[in-house]
Structure 1
Amino acid sequence: MQATVYKSTGSWYVVKTATGETFQARMKGIFKKNEDITSTNPIAVGDFVEIEPDDSDASAKNAMITGIGERRNYIVRSSPHGKNKKHIVAANLDQAVLVCTIKDPRTSLGFIDRFLVTAAAYHIPVILVFNKKDLYRDKEMEKYEEVAALYSSIGYRVMLVSASTGEGVEEVKEALKDKTTLMSGHSGVGKSSLINDLLPGLDLKTTAVSGWSGKGLHTTTFAEMYDLPDGGQLIDTPGVREFGIVDIPKTELSHYFLEMQPYISECQFNNCLHLNEPGCAVKAAVEAGDIDVDRYVSYAAMLDTIQEEQY
């Protein structure tokens, strides 16, 4: 029997069949020992799996996962169990939404860029949704317009919403319709409030921003998928403080900065890192103003964090 993984708690999984039947499923031991699986979690939310229902107690709705379908794509982050390990956040995605804020707390451009690079590496389109519009004054609106212009010019869709007033939420709903969407963001950006707007009656727990640090507090412990009322699925992920670059060699990093792609083949050297090499078309584009200097600084900072052993 085929099913889709809706929730993962690490040892048990909530899976749902095409007919809407839900089972609590365990993973067959063989997957835990599979050396081909290099992530800390061999099964992720969004995976298509084969299950065998436990007929001994039909009312319990238990099942065993006996097979994992081929993934169309997936997105990873550094595992909490070790920086050199990866954790699959979700699989089989049509797109991702990164919820950001200009204030309370401010989402750094470096964090946005790391998320965009990770998504690009796995061929997942991203929509940037800036929340808390109701808190923005002239200074914040000016900053938002600047940031929105930057990412729109690269080719990303950018939206401005207020989960607390509902402004802009309909546009988000339309963008999610009939698609499987991963929603992520720093803790405290109002992701749970936005999801509550998108899924009336769900009533996800929300937590105010921590006053002493300006950072949000975690409210989601495990990734979980929800069926959207108008069609499609939404995958809520735990609030992440950092989104490390995983499994991307230094020589490939620039390929995931979309605005750098047209210039890479024009560099003098095939393995150009776009730092100090002569004949670098990317650096020339930065100097000419065709590539935003802040994005280039973000690229250089990321490059510095990639370990040499990833070559």
Structure 2
Amino acid sequence: MKARVYKSTGSWYVLKNESGAQFNGRIKGVLKIDGITSTNPIAVGDWVDAEPENELEQTVTITGIHDRENYIARTSPHKKVQHHIIASNLDQALVFATLREPRTSQGFIDRFLITAEAYHIPAIIVFNKADLYREKELEKYAEYEDMYSSIGYRVALISVKDGRGIAELKDMLHDKTTLISGHSGVGKSTFINAVFPDMALRTQEVSGWSGKGMHTTTFAEMFDLPGGGRIIDTPGIRELGLVNITKQELSHYFPEMRAVINECQFNNCLHMNEPGCAVKQAVNDGKIHIDRYVSYCTILDSIDEKNY
């Protein structure tokens, strides 16, 4: 039978076949997947082939994996030279961010957007906890909204607490497979609970001593939405390490840079100190936001190419 992976707990997988029946599956022996160097051979969202193992216990053996349309990955938290596939076969990805309690850095948002660009997954930036924002956070949000929407990203301001923006965001999820990601404590699980109360995910308060969220989801898990579509809830990510992106490629994943890089004097321009750089000229002319350029420089500096 053909089935889709809804949850992975390391050695066992929760699968659903095309008629909606649920099974527990495992890989028997070594499943050869060409060219995959990830720490997890099978990811949530994958389509797999499976054969019955124990009908009484509803267990199956996974015998093969279908080609992925796309996937989103990060460096493995344990082995920096390997990558971990967070989820696959996605229609879109939502990155949850907050400007207070805890504050999400622009660097994290940009790394997420780069990863989504690299794997051709449309990304939406969702700023949650609007009910907590004072004037300075609202000004910062307006700045972010202007900066990101001008380069083609959808940006939403919501408050799970007072319901602001929730209906519109819910509409965006309809009939799509959506990855929901972000730091712990930004309200991903609270949003899912509020919008789809049947799911009742565990949530925890932001831990007071660090201001960082507590980890509540330990494995990525996919849920069917009433009315059509699926969401994939992911563990809170503290850092998002970029996978297999070279210094040379980085600017290609900034849409506003991609638009002008062919005009650079040198085709291997890194947009730092080279003469005739169209990207730096666009920054000077105000066509590329200075904060995005600073973000690019910081990320460029962090890419350690010897790892790959």
Query: What's the TM-score once normalised by structure 2's chain length?
Result: 0.98
Contact 1:6 1:16 in 2 (8 A): yes
Query: Which residue does the alignment assign to 1:49?
Result: 48
Contact 1:249 1:310 in 2 (8 A): no
* In 1, Cα distance between equivalents of 2:252 and 2:307: 16
Query: Which residue does the alignment assign to 1:217?
Result: 214
* In 2, Cα distance between equivalents of 1:140 and 1:219: 26
Please give the per-residue CA displacement for 1:30-58, whole angstroms capped at 9, x wherever unaligned: 22x6563200001000000000012xx42
Contact 1:164 1:193 in 2 (8 A): no
1:140 aligns with 2:137: yes
Query: Which residue does the alignment assign to 2:230?
Result: 233
Query: Which residue does the alignment assign to 2:3?
Result: 3
1:106 aligns with 2:91: no
Query: Which residue does the alignment assign to 1:244?
Result: 241
Please give the per-residue CA displacement for 1:262-294, whole angstroms capped at 9, x wherever unaligned: 111000111110000111000110111110111
* In 2, Cα distance between equivalents of 1:251 and 1:310: 15
* In 2, Cα distance between equivalents of 1:34 and 1:178: 30
* In 1, Cα distance between equivalents of 2:208 and 2:182: 19
Q: Which amino acid aligns with 2:207?
A: S
Q: Which amino acid aligns with 1:15?
A: L
Fraction of identical pairs, as percent: 63
Matches within 5 A, 1:135-214: 135-214=132-211
Q: Which amino acid aligns with 2:194?
A: D
* In 2, Cα distance between equivalents of 1:136 and 1:34: 47
Q: Which amino acid aligns with 1:104?
A: E
Corresponding residue SS for 2:231: strand
CA apart distance, 1:82: 1.1
Please give the per-residue CA displacement for 1:17-42, whole angstroms capped at 9, x wherever unaligned: 110110000013222x6563200001
Pick one of 92, 116, 119 that aligns with 1:122: 119
Contact 2:81 2:307 in 1 (8 A): no
Contact 2:264 2:276 in 1 (8 A): yes
* 182-191 vs 132-141, greater mean Cα deviation: 132-141
Q: Which amino acid aligns with 1:115?
A: F
Query: Which residue does the alignment assign to 1:30?
Result: 30
CA RMSD of aligned residues (A): 1.2
1:296 aligns with 2:277: no
* In 2, Cα distance between equivalents of 1:142 and 1:249: 34
* In 1, Cα distance between equivalents of 2:278 and 2:7: 45
Gaps of 5+ in 1: none
Gaps of 5+ in 2: none
1:287 aligns with 2:302: no
Q: Which amino acid aligns with 2:149?
A: S
- Give aligned pairs, total: 308
Query: What's the TM-score once normalised by structure 1's chain length?
Result: 0.97
CA apart distance, 1:198: 2.5
